[in-house]
A and B are shown apart, each in its own frame.
Chain A
Amino acid sequence: MSKRQLAMVMDLNKCIGCQTCTVACKTQWTNRNGREYMYWNNVETYPGTGYPKNWMELGGGFDAAGDLQPGVIPNLEADYGVPWDYNYESLVTSSADHSHFQPHVSPTWGPNWDEDQGAGAFPQDNYFFYLPRICNHCTNPGCLSACPRDAIFKREEDGVVLVDLDRCQGYRYCIAGCPYKKIYFNPKISKSEKCILCFPRIEQGLPPACAQQCVGRIRFVGFLDDEESQVYKLVNKYKVAIGLRSDYGTQPNVYYVPPTESPAKFDAEGKIIEGSTRLPIEELEKLFGPAVHDSIKTLKAEMKKRKETGVSELMDILIAYQHADMFRLDNHYYQEVAKEHKRTPLAPVDTRYIAGKFTKAGGHH
């Protein structure tokens, strides 16, 4: 168990499925061959097949007794989708008459293949919502448990789960062990790679790329032991943010505020069915467990309170007026950790979000 845990909360009511986060992550981290197919951050349409295809049925995680479950390693072509590219170069260089825009393979599958499809019948009761997913930097990571080479570790200082590429020999048991399929095999270098929660950015005072770029401002970042942080308040104080598929036993540290609002259904005449809601609660229960009921109850109550009294700390947090309200980073803390390990402490490149628990005590430089 790590000393502190860095965590993220994503408010699903606000995700608009724009994939800005996906692109922010992809352009930041696809800096090595073999990573092309990997989406460390992806936004899928729920209900849907997800990415990789049917990830929830591929096993991994732990059973009730705490035993790691066998899993299946997804296939690049069939389950992730070959990342196709276009013939940009020939469009520029060859003569115009027989050159046209075309992908280099005929795509048969890819992330977001079923984007916006959802479930139900249009227009009576169709529904979907967006589910952004990154590695959960689990407290009890399935990936780490599965690795026979001790190549995966959880950082003491902030609980970020990383792969030691020197030790990794590309066995891929981690992929079978992660129930979220959020660790990927790089076939070019025969090693596993994954979301690193942008720790090099965090250490220098910048939130993860996905969180900073998010136009919906759905993502909050902070330390779980920092009572002033938004993640602490959303997860521990108001208990509205819950882990995805906590039944896998990995104790995920990315938390979600469940979607609360959905339009009413229509009847055969196209009239609104009063009091109905399109989003089946069973679906939310499947993703977030029974805690989703209390979460929704609290959210609705606070929403009402805000409407009636104009005051609600929870609503103010969720509105996320400015970035500084959403990220509580702790550069000072990382500087202390660096000193402790006799490393050179990094100066922050951005001081706007540095307001963490330990920063207060020490002051940042």
Chain B
Amino acid sequence: MNKLLTSILSLGFAASAALAANPAISAVKVTDDLTNVDGNSAVWAKAKYTTVNLYPQMAIEMNDKNANEANENNKAKAASVAALYDGKNIALSVKWLDKTKDVQAGYATTTYGDGFAIQFAGITKGAQPLPYIGMGSTGRPVVVHLQKANEKVYEPNGNGDVSTQLNRQQTGVFGKELAEYDAKVASLANKDYERVFVGEGFRSLTEIKDKSVKSNSSMSHDTKGWSGTLVRPLKDDYVNMSGTVPVAIAVWDGSKMGRNGVKNLSSWVAVNLEGQKPNAALVADLTTDAKGDAANGKVALETNGCNGCHQMSAADPKSFMAPSLKDVGGYSTASYLRESILKPSAVVVPGYNRNAHANTPWYNIEKGKRISTMTDFSHLDKKSVDDIVAYLQTLKAEVE
């Protein structure tokens, strides 16, 4: 990444087009009913696939030693994404490279399942600013559909209700009864690991368990990688899609102990519902790079001491003073970067460990809100901010 960055800087950003944000995706309108669509459905022949880059999201280093080692030099992954809609539902298809098929084994503590998630911006008053990627932000919720590759789980009631799970040695049933019991369990055991969450900021992500979101997702693996699909209504209590729909995509690699933030994540991507009027401002925000001079931005950033706390590239020593920015350009919109410079407390990533750094916290909690210890840079002139944002957008790993 660093190498790529230096070569680009030395070219005076002639190649900055190559770093452009993700292109918009066209959701093709179909007459077929998409309710039961999965990866094998013929209807996908009508879809237009677009490449979306998914960047390693390692802003906060977690405390798993082995996972950190396995993910040290992660590159970005290119995913092929397509969308369809039928007036009632939207269907998304994501294909990404991952040679190994990993599932959480029922008798292992150190295996992790592959998985993917698709995120939508929840219902808010205005479309912009968008919620913070991944977790949403106060008043700007996100809805996250998560699908993990899984295997049979021994689960008597099939509802994921852990309190009713029984221990075999304690069932106290024998012979015929036990066989009947096993048969019932087997019929229920294929419980799919599909979850929907709503989030309004870090640590708020909560599973929607009342079945008020009717979605269906699935995954299938071949020699090259995964293909995942998700179908959900265009409108429900949580989202209301029309014109341009911002979505974000994340994938986890179980072979690298991926889970939580150990993942690859896209920035917000614009999905235009074909035949509807796109939200031009939103599309422009998500598909064009910040207007600014990245080389000047780098200088301005150093002058203002940003790199005193933030890690800027993989080559910099890790800093626990503030989130790492080494891939921030990959998964952040220019507006988000700008907001973070001007209003650092708008979104505060909770520490990798909330008890750490008693003397040098990166935020304080005041009245239940995280208040960043970063000073705001609203005193900077507009050009410097634009330049810094342009520079930050160049910070991202190479695509694998």
Point out residues on A near B: beta carbons under 8 Å: 30-36, 59-60, 62, 65-77, 80, 82, 140, 144-146, 148-150, 165-167, 169-173, 175-177, 184-185, 187-191
Contact = CB atoms under 8 A, between A and B. Distances in A.
Interface string B259-272: 11100000000000
Contact of B63 (A80, A165, A173, A191): A173
Nearest to B354: A145
B104 A66 contact: no
21 contacts: A32-B166, A36-B167, A62-B356, A66-B356, A67-B353, A67-B357, A68-B355, A70-B64, A70-B68, A71-B64, A74-B109, A145-B353, A146-B63, A149-B205, A176-B62, A176-B63, A176-B64, A187-B104, A187-B108, A189-B155, A191-B162
A66 B110 contact: no
A73 to B, nearest CB: 6
Contacts of A148: 60, 62, 203, 260-261, 350, 352
Contacts of A69: 63
B41 interface: no
A145 B354 CA distance: 6
B63 A68 contact: yes
A30 B167 contact: yes
A50 B168 CA distance: 28
Interface string B110-151: 110000000000000000000000000000000000000000
Given A30-B167, A34-B165, A77-B108, 14 more contacts: A66-B355, A72-B64, A72-B65, A72-B66, A73-B110, A76-B110, A148-B261, A167-B206, A176-B64, A177-B63, A184-B109, A188-B106, A188-B153, A191-B162
A31 B168 CA distance: 9
A67 B359 CA distance: 10
Contacts of A31: 166-167, 170
A68 B66 contact: no
B377 interface: no
B382 to A, nearest CB: 36
Contact of A169 (B110, B259, B358): B259
Interface centre among B205, B259, B353 (most CB of A within 10 A): B353
A76 B108 contact: yes
Interface residues of B, number: 43
A68 B63 CA distance: 7
A348 B206 CA distance: 35
Interface in B247-288: 259-261
Nearest to B68: A70
A200 to B, nearest CB: 13
B207 interface: yes
B105 interface: yes
A23 B348 CA distance: 46
A140 B168 CA distance: 36
A258 to B, nearest CB: 28
B154 A145 contact: no
Give 3 closest A-B pairs by Cβ, nearest first.
A68-B353, A70-B65, A145-B355
Contacts of B66: 72-73
A252 B175 CA distance: 47
Interface in B57-81: 60, 62-66, 68
A61 B57 CA distance: 25
A133 to B, nearest CB: 18
A62 B355 contact: yes
Contacts of A175: 109
A71 B109 contact: no
Interface in B349-393: 350, 352-359
Given A149-B205, A185-B109, A187-B105, A176 B356 contact: no
Contacts of B167: 30-33, 35-36
Contact of A33 (B63, B65, B154, B261): B154
B389 to A, nearest CB: 27
Contacts of B168: 33
Contact of B109 (A36, A76, A171, A173): A76
A187 B107 contact: yes
B320 interface: yes
Contacts of B107: 76, 82, 187
Nearest to B357: A67
Contact of A68 (B169, B206, B350, B352): B352
Contacts of A33: 154, 165-168
Contacts of B166: 31-33
B362 to A, nearest CB: 13
Contact of B65 (A144, A176, A188): A176
Contacts of A36: 167
B320 to A, nearest CB: 7
A32 B164 CA distance: 8
B63 A60 contact: yes
A81 B355 CA distance: 32
B252 to A, nearest CB: 11
Contacts of B205: 149
B260 A173 contact: yes
A60 B62 CA distance: 11
A347 to B, nearest CB: 23
A68 B358 CA distance: 11
A71 B110 CA distance: 13
Contacts of B354: 145
Interface centre among B62, B162, B259, B356 (most CB of A within 10 A): B162
A30 to B, nearest CB: 6
A67 B356 contact: yes
A181 B86 CA distance: 51
B165 A68 contact: no
Nearest to A148: B260
A21 B60 CA distance: 40
Interface string B187-203: 00000010000000001
A171 B356 contact: no
B275 to A, nearest CB: 38
Contacts of B64: 70-73, 172-173, 176
